[in-house]
Amino acid sequence: MNGFSGTAVIGIGNEFRRDDGVGRAVVTLLRQRAVQRPLPPGTVLAHCDGDPGRLLDLWEKAGLTIVVDACFPPSAQPGRTHRWDAAAGGAPSPAGPGRHSTHGLGLAEALRLGDALGRGPGRLVVYAVEGTDRSVGVGITPAVAAVVPRLVRRIEADIARTTRLRTEPAPGRGRQV
């Protein structure tokens, strides 16, 4: 896979802007669970404010990058989660004048920059969680907090599935015993 290895799980957001902190909450819970159920070697769990340069550094060598971020569409259903897998095609489009992100530049811009610089992620999966409260303050709303444990389990399954695929023999080759 072009020198890519391991997994990066990046929680984007600002914990001091209520629901915008959902990405951080997911990564924090993943870290807590990893104490009892370790993640595969080479798994990096990181918080990020969404700065494109920091994102590029975090995902540059990862075979799988999972990004978790809040989104704030006009008719949000707090806690509704969207999953986008780059392997399925398409690309996230940059937000227009009525941005749905609290970041100056969004994930789409970071992806374009990474591609232009040859520093894009290997495989990319994005989880966007709809929120409604991005006011100043700590703590995500109850509807958004309720999806965090389910989302963590989905991410753990994504990591396990990708790790299994990496360790299975190539087609036409048997397992060495």
Q: pLDDT tens digits for 89-136?
A: 655 544 443 344 444 556 767 777 767 777 667 788 999 999 999 999
Instruction: Using alpha carbons, select from 51, 45, 57 the residue that is nearest to residue 13.
Output: 51
Q: By the 8 A CB rule, do 54 and 11 touch?
A: no
Check: pTM over 0.75? Answer yes or no: yes
Average pLDDT over the chain reads 82
Q: Which pair of tokens denotes residue 74?
A: 């006009």
pLDDT in tens, 17-33: 999 999 999 999 999 99
